Amino acid sequence: MIRKPFVALVVAATLAGCNTSPVEPRRPAAELPAKPAAADIAPAPESLSAARTQLSLMAAENRITNTLTWAGEYLQQERAEDAKQLLAELNPQALNQQQRFQLTLLHGRATLALQNPRETLALLTQEQDNILQYPADQQAQLDLLRADALAMSGQLLDSLQQRVAAHPLLSDKDQEYNHNMIWQLLMQLPATDLAGAIDKSSGDLLGWLTLAQLYRDPIADLDAQVTRLNQWSAQWRTHPAVNDVPVMLEALEKAASQRPSQVAILLPASGPLETVGATLKQGIMTAYYQHKQDNLTPTLRFYDSSGDDILAVYQQAIAEGADFILGPLAKEKAATIASQGTLPVTTLALNYVDEEQPLPDNFFQFGLAPEDEARQIALQGFQQGDTQAGILYPKGDWGQRVAQAFADEWQALGGTVTAWSEYQEGPAIGDTVEELLLVAQSEQRGKAVSRFTNLKVDERPRRRQDLDFLFLIANPDQGRQVKPALNFHYAKDLPVYATSLIYSGMSNPRRDQDLNGIRFVEIPWLLGDENSALHQLTDEQWPEGHGRYERLFAMGIDAYRLQGRLYLLNALPSSEMPGVTGRLRMQQQRIVRELNWAIFSRGEARALPQVSAPATLSSRPGSATTSR
């Protein structure tokens, strides 16, 4: 199963629903009404107005058939709005049962492609009496449509229930699509929701939920997971997912057989990175103690990597029995090891080397790259249907690099950067924001027009309107200057999305009032359940916390967990690990993080409902990350 961001996958599958060419994973084509003779039908006209003109000249039955066929073609061409408008010309009362089914299916897919799941759900509710009269296979196709809409609305468990109930009634192709989407949902359902659903479920749904729980467990002993998977297979012999288990078992068994027995950890113990190294070590040791009950917990040995000769330290660790290397932390030292060609043992560097540098097959990278966050925010904007973005970043190479990562991803997705500006902290931020928003120009235009007309002209200044949202790179102090400046310059309604840099990690409601309304990505560790066993263990060991280094502490936890899961992530493209720094997956020998979403409200950072990593694109006001 190929993992894709769920909402984008739903939209892609919706558009693929009327397509006959292979799309992976794809929605099987709906059954179209039987086509009339070739002389009676033609390809859909290029323009909607031409289509309406031609349809108006047709006899009633041909008009209905062509409207449905052309709407399907427009959906194939990703012209969902045109498809929806064309379908609106039909009177449902004038259609036979097959045509009304097709109208409902196409209309629902168009509204989903336009990212309006509430409209889709309302349509299906309105048509419910008619739907009950359709054959079972048609009802099942509309059940899948409802499941897609529920997922896009953030109702993941309801979507799962709908999919599982409909599954036996689907065709083989529909089952393949549905099977994939069920697994996508299970991988994105928050762990607490997953556990709660298990207690309330039965039948095939319970089988799916328990399989996902044991597969996703990031702290389970690998041998125990293999045993539990075998037990699951024995218990659920006729379950739709039973054929997936052998692949999981093979990967888990191989991961268990390749589990390291001695891990060498290369961290700086002196110099400018001493505190960073110490914090990472504390996170690693906390995770180690949590796993201590496992029978095969590896031996850990720490080495000081702060010296100049990192290769000597690396070779010493191997000579002393290490069969897995964790580190080093410094980027240039990681690059030095990566440049050695084939490495004697698997190595997970705690930083990222330049993408152009060729890597040994057993060299991997993990870190807290802000570029990942920038790309996630770009994807979120794309998923919610935005097309125009502004970028505001602090002056300097670092800010420019993160801004460029966002811009590259945003433009690759088809978006346009309509405003791009750097700022310097201090009084000049207000001027930078005003220039970014083109407020002065709007005021000047209004005055100029009023000089040459007798009409009353609204001369009040206003911000530019070619921005769907602003991507902001700022620390808390900078953000406390930027957001009030945006509010002052008529952009209070402009959505602002920020990286985790905006949040200090500590509650400060009095000062953070000025950040209200900013949405940002953040690691689960800082937004999660403070009563979890791991948080309690951490509080016992480090009651004072780690202040601004808390994210590095969380990185240490995930770094330890990854040493046992690296093979699994590398071997199965669909696999991921729910870590405390994000949902972790492998991409070209890099561990990529997908963070949770939060919003500043009344000066507090509040977690937003986790819908589809990062969030659903549905309605702006009520959805997790897209509500304005």
> Which residues lie below 8 Å from residue 44, measured CB to CB, with a gap of 6+?
51, 69, 70, 73, 74
For 597, phi then psi, to 5°, come to -115, 150
Burial (CB < 10 A; 0-12, 13-18, 19+), residue 526, is: buried
Query: For residue 120, what are the CA distances in angstroms to 112, 145, 322, 622?
Result: 7, 8, 57, 16
Per-residue pLDDT band for 218 (boundaries 50, 70, 90) equals low
Beta strands 363-365 and 604-607, pairing class: unpaired
pLDDT in tens, 298-352: 999 999 999 999 999 999 999 999 999 999 999 999 999 999 989 999 999 999 9
**Is the omega angle on the peptide bond into residue 298 within 30 degrees of 0, that is, cis?**
no
Q: State how far the Cα of 270 lies from the Cα of 544, in Å rounded to an integer.
A: 22
3-state secondary structure of 405: helix
pLDDT score of 387 more than 50: yes
Q: Which domains does the chain have, with CATH numbers?
A: 6-188 (1.25.40), 195-257 (no CATH), 371-522+595-607 (3.40.50.2300)
Query: And the tokens for 53?
Result: 């003109």
Query: For residue 518, what are the CA distances in angstroms to 206, 351, 418, 601?
Result: 38, 28, 20, 8
- Partners of 304 in the beta sheet? 267
* Beta carbons of 83 and 91 less than 8 angstroms apart: no
Q: State how far the Cα of 495 lies from the Cα of 519, in Å rounded to an integer.
A: 8
Query: And the tokens for 56?
Result: 């108006």
* Beta carbons of 325 and 345 less than 8 angstroms apart: yes
- Partners of 601 in the beta sheet? 604
* Beta carbons of 230 and 249 less than 8 angstroms apart: yes
pLDDT in tens, 473-532: 999 999 999 999 999 998 999 999 999 999 999 889 999 999 999 999 999 999 876 557
Q: Which of 410, 379, 385, 493 is nearest to 117 (CA)?
A: 385
Q: Which of 61, 71, 19 is nearest to 36 (CA)?
A: 61
Q: State how far the Cα of 114 lies from the Cα of 81, in Å rounded to an integer.
A: 7
> Which residues lie below 8 Å from residue 235, measured CB to CB, with a gap of 6+?
207
Per-residue DSSP letters for 526-551? Answer: HHS-TTSHHHHHHHHH-TT--GGGHH
- Partners of 123 in the beta sheet? none
pLDDT score of 9 more than 70: no
Read off the DSSP letter of residue 167. G
Q: Which of 581, 580, 586 is nearest to 565 (CA)?
A: 586
The radius of gyration computed from the CA coordinates of the chain, to the nearest angstrom, equals 27
Rounded to 5 degrees, what angle do the CA atoms 405, 408, 413 make? 125
Please give the residue that has the higher pLDDT: either 610 or 123: 123
Query: And the tokens for 136?
Result: 């079972």
Query: For residue 551, what are the CA distances in angstroms to 30, 491, 546?
Result: 47, 31, 9
Read off the DSSP letter of residue 340. T
Please give the residue that has the higher pLDDT: either 293 or 115: 115
Residue 125 has a pLDDT of 96
Residue 78 has a pLDDT of 82
pLDDT score of 100 more than 60: yes
> Which residues lie below 8 Å from residue 503, measured CB to CB, with a gap of 6+?
476, 520, 522, 526, 598, 605
**Is the omega angle on the peptide bond into residue 45 within 30 degrees of 0, that is, cis?**
no
pLDDT in tens, 127-161: 999 999 999 989 999 999 999 999 888 888 999 99
Please, how many CA atoms are within 13 Å of residue 474, restricted to the half-sphere of its CB? 27
Burial (CB < 10 A; 0-12, 13-18, 19+), residue 182, is: buried
Residue 2 has a pLDDT of 31
Per-residue pLDDT band for 294 (boundaries 50, 70, 90) equals low
